[in-house]
Structure 1
Amino acid sequence: MYRLVVIDDEYIVVQGIKALISRLKLDYEVVGAAYDGIQGLEVIRSEKPDVVITDIRIPGLDGLSVIEAAKEECPDTYFIVISGYSEFVYAQRALTLGVKDYIDKPVTADKLKNALTRIEDEWAKTRHEDNRKAQANREKFQELERTFESSVKCITDCDAAAFREECRQAIRCLQELYPELQDFRREFYKHLCVLSDVLIESQKQVERGSLVSFQEMVKCQSIEEVQAYGESVLSDISKHLTADQTGSKHRVILELLTYLDEHYDQDIGLSELADRAGMSTAYLSVLFKTEVGTSYVKYLTDLRIKKAKKLLQDGYKVNEVSEMVGYNNYRYFCDIFKKHEGMTPNEYKGNVWKAE
């Protein structure tokens, strides 16, 4: 049953509304009544009703002033105004205060019932919206949980590329679930701490202090700053995973390997990488082979073929895959693939289908 307060300086109006609600068997209980604005505001503050029906012209405080003051303490209360004065200025101000309905005197059974029914419809609509948002949030939490579990698996499997993809999805979920700075910062920090701990368990030589810092996170005073800091921590974790895959510990090489894993589909030459690293091409060539154990060209080719095989397994056409992994010349891609795998892309794709 909904709780209702009536405010009117005419005793007969207050008692009439009570009688109508009882006679119509409406799902409302009159929990308070007042005959002036000051007393009415005290009753509202005390009872915190679901609905207030108030006259506009009442002594002490007019009805609209009562609503304006009450809204600060009872933001969820719905208001209906009644008056024998139907001037536009009153109706206009009532709308700006979020008044849900306006009834001209005399208050009849039909007018009262219609006004309260419209409010109940509004509640039903609001509950539906709340339920829909709650369901969306539940699904988002489930997605966040899934991406978190996948991120942990990526760390234990040393899969840097998949880890970065899962992290991108996790950040998106966190932003949608926690739009406020303080909440986003707190939850993102917890997320980073757990992933850092998983990495430390997998790679004992990594120190937690070198990954995530509470002091640095607290310094972030905007959503953008929190995201930028979090992404830098996740990038460092990804570099450690890449290092474990290749055996390399050189910081510059780790950064270049991460760059290649994200841009393998582009035309990247060793000279371009050297420019990024601030080294000579000759020195980078030697350093790359020393750290990674293979030449740059072979590493990039192996990476592209690995990506191509995954795309072929996913059902993409050979000419599409060729461009997706950075080979604009279809025939050249087929030659490289056959040399690497001992069969053409189409033959590889056919074998995948047979296996299924």
Structure 2
Amino acid sequence: MFRVVLIDDEALVLKGMSMVLEKDENIQLVGTASTGPEGFDLIYKEKPDIVFTDIRMPGMTGLEMIEKAQERFPEIVYIIFSGFNEFKYVQKAIGLGVLDYLEKPVTVQDLKKSLARAGKILEYKRNYTQMKAQVAQVNKVVIEQLFYKLIHQPPEFEEKTIKELIETDEAFSYITEAAILCVGKVMHEDNREDAYRQIINELTFTLTEGHSIRFFTLSVDENIYFVYLNEECLSFEFYEKLTGAKEKLEELGISFVAGISNIHHSIYEIKNGFMEAKNALTYATFMDEETIIRNEEVEYQNQIPIGIMDSHYSLELNFRLGNYEESRKQIETYFSYLETDRLMPEVLKHECMEILYLLINLVQESGKKPEMLSDRMLNEKVKGLISANEIIEWSRKYAVMLMDQAEEKEKPGGKDSPVKIISRYIDENYDKSITLDILADLVKMNAAYVSVIFKKEEGISYSHYLTKVRIEHAKKFLEQGMKAKDVCEKVGYFDYRYFNRQFKKYMGMTPDTYKKNCVHVQQ
């Protein structure tokens, strides 16, 4: 059924033609008008398929009305009728693409013939429009699939895919500007699906309204790519327009993180655009940026200063000396540095893992068994964190937990400290070969750390303590009348000259002299 509007300043003509049109089951007469301005308003309101109009009417001629209406509705079929068969009218009507020029009085037969011709043209237009829309939709799907292919395929196949794009739509050869926007981390207070719909609508139809900007959207790994192709001669302010659209969406409670590529001027640069947009989005997400990040704004540090690396050794030393307060300050200084420097994600995660593994080893060396994640789970946890703030904050809390466990006092009635275990072992096994490695293995700790904590707790080194114990027992055996050489072996020395030197160093005399003095005192 076709919608028809009838316009004439003669009431009898309107009445007669209306009766004919209303009898046709394929026609719906949606309105009549008697002046040019009224007719234009009626066309604008009803958007008919066919317009029948007189030429000479008050306010505006039929031809002027058609010319004005065609600017807004070029698809309408126009048929004019007039009692004035003047060449200038016919000529202008032909120029406007009018289907028929009927002379008054219009017969029923003429009217039906015109309607039949108009019907065929409208059917053809509808079929053509529908077919064109279907082809465009198929092409759109094909193009988006080629874009998806371009994102994931190796560089050596890039040129072939670009050629396929141009074969699908040769307009790709003539683009003046191309920009890619990558959107992620979409959040909405109520409905996330509705948020996606609003984002897509705002960043496509609304953004490009009134401009010859083609756009395509595709979803890749929970992100949405928006491909914009400018076919105009003038540059399009992509960043400014997109920033305005984002602010508008935020007023509706919709937020997202986004990165935009550089502006490219050839379809052969489009793959770079996809990589740039994803790179900018990753940076925006990692840095918790609220604005749309441009690719040229992406700036990472890929290494840390040597001075910061030296702090690891300082932390290790302070921890082993039991300076836990200083150790905590160094840890906080280190994480504060990581907060201010824009390290690459992989570098930041590596640095956080390094400090955590160092603390874990130090706590274990101290004889504690910290409650912690396994190496695999710790690694997965840090790798799973997205933003720099999340990575640093989680690592900082984990480091504080490890320090708390390192400083935890032994409960009354609990097991002996590592130093007490070592002291008791030396007291009971002084006659055996005792090395630092043996003592460290005894308490399952690092040898260097054992040396530090023993001296801190006992006031002397483990070797001095061992010498003291051996000399004290040697004195007792000498006082009992044992030979010096026998005493040497009995207290764990296997070199008599070395035993002689150690005894003299400790007692100020040789073992034999000490023995003689003891005998003299006893007599």
Q: TM-score, normalised by structure 2?
A: 0.35
Which protein has greater RCO, CA pairs closer than 8 Å, 6+ apart?
1
- Give the structure with the higher percent helix: 1
Computing the radius of gyration from Cα coordinates, the structure with the larger value is 2
